[in-house]
């Protein structure tokens, strides 16, 4: 009996950390995902929606079981947990309810499958349509946040894909309990339960198997987690990856710029939440504004509890500014720390972003429309903004309803990855007997 | 001195088959491609167009040098050349003129960079645009067709990308002569000559280097050639690949279907050109039409010089039909051979295509609109057609102007790969001081 079959049939099943033939079992999981994906690709949109709503309700109904599983995870982790880690891993009734609500949000999204993206007619009368189709099979590799199990499973299924989930070993029981509820939702609509599979082993070798593509059955890998996880996935994956390694995001304030607007955007971009990938890590200030804007910006940030690491000129405006090293310009702090530099020109700012940035999200604050357009054109990042906070780097804020993460790659998905980005496409051509001359 | 610098500066340079540090030289080529790509991404569209027109003229002006280089290639290959291979490799004045004309066609295409693909406004007033940007660096690995040097170089540059070309060793001198003309075109507009680089060595290890991604400087690999080349690239590439391994394309004739329309489409799909990837390899005939359509279709094909490999029922209509083996259903003949099968239902035909097909191009011929729509929805191929020949699987026929090939992958590019498919995108967000709550 393979581990995968156990998991697929029971929506959870036995924990099988000791599998004689792990690669074989994983390959079987991939084959069943492919078959489930083919079936789901043709499923009636209403059934997908109903299944996800049923899954949300199943999460609510099994709240106590999920919390019990979570307590097991917390107990198993014991003293190893840092406070931050414990917070990520811990569930309570409110968090479980929020997970269920998140699945309902995905259920309510417009179905992307079959949408006509473009349509045109050729001189010979052929009518060509480009339509969205599911991508196929998506492997999601994540760490200790149990909610990713529900988010990723729901988004994948909404887009008609099969999903293989591999959560962190610390959240193993919590993820299994949530996965069980998702599978109940699929089963309630007779959708293939293999459409959302959870790797039923904590054996880390399973990650390597997923990254190999399971013999061509995995179309894309999505890592959700810290830099170490994403780095490993990007280095080892033999299939395409939707991810960003780091978000070294910039706010550049260019003259002329309203000081109040600049203060509001800089404060929000850095301090609204410091741990998100769209948080600003570097502030660039136009030399023309150094006399008027630099000091108020720095003082505002320090008053808000932000450490400033500045270049020489920035250190000149406040004694509390510590010297920035070369390393600072390429550091993603994910904390209440900001590097600040005075730049000589728009061009110098664009070059700084190109050199030290990570092609994630960068903003210009200015009243100069020409400068703004040049920044928006020339900065090669997934998201570029004018007079808005970098923390808008989020699928929900883009109107995508939900996202599985932000991608900085150049192929297929870039920026927030929502249901549309989890789709492929094909061409439908309608003729009346045309042949090619 | 690195090999790549030599090539980049001279637009041809010395042949350096014996390089002490090939990986280092290739990595240098990648770095210079990345820099050239960044510069080209911001280039004025008119300059790109002018550079390509100048390249076309340079090809015309150097026709005799190109033909001399081609004669060198033919002589070097000597007795090894099969007639088919010799035809692919050989140039004459007319073919050189056609290569130049092809570059002019690409020059005249609409510039895809900066095109707004989608635009919307959020309730908070943020205006979001999704705009096309160049992909970055494209490596094109091809065989003995010297024209690919010009086609791939021109398409890549039109989309604002840098291109690294690695042609077959048999066409080495021809490709170098064409490449030299392309570089003249770039130089005439002060565009970076490193935007089109040709690997200046016949050492096959260079292919492995390209497939590794040259330290993150290659964004996508495009193989152009036979199954052995594409298979190697797909198996070894550590970066995304735009390709199709095989085109096992189907025509399915479903009742009711006009016999004349069916005959016209089947004949064209199989026999217009048998060596192209969109040529039909299998004909499926609805059992309801077996009595009326099967014999005329088979007789027409045999009369046109096509060998028929049929199932039992097909063998019954003409003694010249040879038995099809299980292997035939998944064989891409690329020749005047067609496998023919009678299927019991639309569903059986869709399942046959799913089982034996290659997700390339498949067509249904029928007057039944409902059946046609089901086929177009459910057949999971890059291109699905109703009442039209599979030989329309071509970027030119789709209105893309030119293409670098057909892709059957599910990520980013699927179907004909033209200038738009050689682009990425980014989001431009325009605000008025918005911060995220």
Structural domain boundaries in chain B: 3-236, 249-392
Mean pLDDT along residues A328-343: 98
* DSSP summary character for residue A109: S
Residue of chain B nearest A268, judged by CA positions: B435
Residue of chain B nearest A400, judged by CA positions: B122
Q: List, for chain B, all residue ranges whose pLDDT scores fall below the cut of 70.
A: 1-18
The whole-number pLDDT of residue A310 equals 98
Contact at 8 Å (CB) between B305 and B427? no
Calculate what percentage of chain A has a pLDDT beyond 70: 96
Report how far residue A299's alpha carbon sits from residue B53's, in angstroms, rounded to the nearest whole number: 56
- Name residues whose C-beta falls within 8 Å of residue B280's C-beta, 6 or more positions apart in sequence: B249, B250, B251, B266, B269, B270, B338, B363, B390
B434–A387 CB contact, under 8 Å: yes
Mean pLDDT along residues A123-132: 98
B264–A430 CB contact, under 8 Å: no
| Chain B environment of A434 (Cβ under 8 Å) | 387-389, 392
Contact at 8 Å (CB) between A266 and A284? no
| Chain B environment of A133 (Cβ under 8 Å) | 380
Closest Cα in chain A, distance from residue B411 (Å): 6
B392–A126 CB contact, under 8 Å: yes
Residue of chain B nearest A40, judged by CA positions: B378
A385–B429 CB contact, under 8 Å: yes
CATH of B3-236, one of 2.60.40.10, 3.40.605.10, 3.60.20.10, 3.90.1150.10: 3.40.605.10
The whole-number pLDDT of residue A276 equals 93
Closest Cα in chain B, distance from residue A364 (Å): 10
A412–B414 CB contact, under 8 Å: no
- Which tens digit of pLDDT belongs to each residue from A152-193? 999 999 999 999 999 999 999 999 999 999 999 999 999 999
Mutate to test the interface with A, among B258, B392, B400, B418 (most CBs of A within 10 A): B392
| Chain B environment of A386 (Cβ under 8 Å) | 428-431
Mean pLDDT along residues A398-426: 94
**What torsion, rounded to 10 degrees, do the Cα atoms B41, B44, B45, B46 define?**
-150
Which among A266, A290, A269 has a CA at the least distance from the CA of A278?
Answer: A269
| Chain B environment of A240 (Cβ under 8 Å) | 240, 411
B386–A430 CB contact, under 8 Å: yes
User: Given A264, A372, A428, which is nearest B433 (Cβ)?
Assistant: A264
For chain A, the average pLDDT equals 94
The tokens for B421 are 């498919």
User: Given B240, B392, B436, which is nearest A436 (Cβ)?
Assistant: B392
Mutate to test the interface with B, among A114, A410, A420, A421 (most CBs of B within 10 A): A410
B391–A435 CB contact, under 8 Å: yes
| Chain B environment of A385 (Cβ under 8 Å) | 428-431
Calculate what percentage of chain A has a pLDDT beyond 90: 89
Contact at 8 Å (CB) between A152 and A422? no
B392–A429 CB contact, under 8 Å: yes
The model's pTM is 0.92
| Chain A environment of B391 (Cβ under 8 Å) | 435-436
Contact at 8 Å (CB) between B390 and B278? yes
- Give the CA distances from residue A121 to residues A126, A431, B404, in Å, rounded to whole numbers and listed in that order: 6, 10, 22
Report how far residue B313's alpha carbon sits from residue A221's, in angstroms, rounded to the nearest whole number: 46
B388–A114 CB contact, under 8 Å: no
| Chain B environment of A354 (Cβ under 8 Å) | 38
Residue of chain A nearest B434, judged by CA positions: A388
Label the pairing between strands A137-142 and A280-286.
unpaired
CB pairs under 8 A between A and B: 181
Q: What is the ipTM of this complex?
A: 0.93
Alpha-helical runs (H) found in A62-140: 63-77, 83-89, 93-108
Could you tell me which CATH number the domain at B249-392 has?
Answer: 3.40.309.10
A436–B397 CB contact, under 8 Å: yes
φ/ψ (deg, to 5) at B371: -65, -40
- What kind of fold does domain A249-397 have according to CATH? Aldehyde Dehydrogenase; Chain A, domain 2 (3.40.309)
- Which tens digit of pLDDT belongs to each residue from A337-385? 999 999 999 999 999 999 999 999 999 999 999 999 999 999 999 999 9
Mean pLDDT along residues A406-413: 94
The whole-number pLDDT of residue B402 equals 85
Closest Cα in chain B, distance from residue A80 (Å): 34
User: Given B394, B411, B434, which is nearest A411 (Cβ)?
Assistant: B411
Which among A341, A336, A346 has a CA at the least distance from the CA of A300?
Answer: A336
Strand partners, B407: B415
The whole-number pLDDT of residue A6 equals 35
- Name residues whose C-beta falls within 8 Å of residue B104's C-beta, 6 or more positions apart in sequence: B52, B53, B56
Residue of chain A nearest B114, judged by CA positions: A377
B411–A220 CB contact, under 8 Å: yes
Closest Cα in chain A, distance from residue B91 (Å): 24
- Name residues whose C-beta falls within 8 Å of residue B322's C-beta, 6 or more positions apart in sequence: B307, B308, B309, B310, B315
Report how far residue A377's alpha carbon sits from residue B38's, in angstroms, rounded to the nearest whole number: 12
Residue of chain A nearest B422, judged by CA positions: A411
Contact at 8 Å (CB) between B290 and B313? yes
- On the question of pLDDT at A10 being above 70, the answer is no
Report how far residue A423's alpha carbon sits from residue A128's, in angstroms, rounded to the nearest whole number: 19
- Name residues whose C-beta falls within 8 Å of residue B35's C-beta, 6 or more positions apart in sequence: B192, B194
- Which tens digit of pLDDT belongs to each residue from B5-64? 333 333 345 566 667 789 999 999 999 999 999 999 999 999 999 999 999 999 999 999
């Amino acid at each position: 009996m393979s581990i995968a079959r156990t998991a697929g049939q029971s929506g959870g099943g036995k924990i099988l950390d000791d599998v004689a033939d792990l690669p074989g079992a994983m390959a079987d999981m991939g084959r069943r995902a492919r078959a489930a994906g083919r079936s789901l690709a043709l499923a009636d949109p209403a059934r997908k929606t109903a299944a996800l709503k049923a899954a949300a309700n199943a999460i609510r109904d099994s709240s106590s079981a999920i919390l019990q599983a979570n307590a097991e995870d917390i107990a198993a982790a014991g003293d190893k947990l840092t406070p931050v880690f414990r917070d990520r891993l811990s569930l309570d009734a409110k968090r479980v309810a929020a997970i269920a609500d998140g699945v309902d949000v995905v259920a309510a999204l417009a179905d992307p499958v079959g949408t006509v993206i473009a349509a045109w007619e050729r001189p010979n009368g052929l009518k060509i349509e480009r339509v969205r189709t599911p991508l196929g099979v998506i492997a999601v590799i994540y760490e200790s946040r149990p909610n990713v199990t529900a988010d990723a499973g729901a988004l994948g299924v909404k887009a008609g894909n099969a999903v293989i989930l591999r959560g962190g070993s610390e959240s193993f029981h919590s993820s299994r309990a949530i996965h069980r509820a998702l599978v109940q939702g699929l089963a309630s609509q007779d959708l293939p339960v293999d459409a959302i599979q959870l790797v039923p082993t904590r054996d880390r070798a399973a990650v390597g198997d997923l990254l190999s593509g399971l013999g061509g059955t995995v179309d894309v890998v999505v890592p959700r987690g810290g830099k170490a996880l994403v780095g490993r996935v990007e280095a080892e994956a033999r299939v395409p990856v939707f991810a960003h390694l780091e978000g070294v995001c910039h706010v550049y304030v260019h003259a002329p710029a309203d000081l109040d607007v600049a203060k509001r955007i800089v404060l929000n971009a850095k301090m609204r939440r410091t741990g998100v990938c769209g948080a600003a890590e570097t502030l660039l200030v136009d030399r023309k504004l150094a006399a008027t804007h630099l000091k108020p910006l720095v003082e505002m940030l320090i008053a808000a509890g932000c450490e400033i690491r500045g270049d020489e000129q920035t250190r000149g405006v406040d004694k509390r500014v510590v010297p920035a090293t070369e390393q600072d310009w390429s550091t993603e702090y994910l904390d209440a720390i900001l590097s600040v530099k005075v730049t000589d020109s728009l061009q110098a700012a664009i070059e700084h972003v190109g050199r030290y940035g990570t092609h994630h999200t960068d903003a210009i604050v200015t009243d100069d429309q020409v400068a703004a357009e040049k920044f928006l054109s020339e900065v090669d990042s997934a998201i570029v903004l004018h007079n808005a906070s970098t923390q808008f780097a989020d699928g929900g804020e883009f109107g995508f309803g939900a996202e599985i993460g932000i991608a900085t790659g150049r192929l297929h998905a870039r920026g927030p990855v929502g249901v549309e980005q989890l789709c492929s496409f094909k061409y439908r051509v309608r003729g009346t007997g045309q042949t090619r001359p």
